[in-house]
Amino acid sequence: MSEYEFTCPDCGQQIEVNTPVREATLSHGCPVCGASVSQEHFAEQ
């Protein structure tokens, strides 16, 4: 399973996530502030 570093475009929060969490974040937004995000906000590690 891949690991990604997510950086929120609104609140700037950085977290490491796995593939299922990445998919949930893309669907539901930043887990901290709820901002909409896109694939460009994830960097594969």
Burial of 30 (0-12, 13-18, 19+ CB in 10 A): buried
**The pTM is what?**
0.87
Which residues lie closer than 8 Å to 1 by C-beta, 6 or more apart? 18, 19, 20
Tens-digit pLDDT profile for residues 2-28: 999 999 999 999 999 999 999 999 999
Please report the pLDDT score of residue 1 as a whole number: 79
Which residue range(s) make up the domain with 40?
A: 3-44
The yes-or-no verdict on residue 39 having pLDDT over 90 is yes
The total number of structural domains in the chain stands at: 1
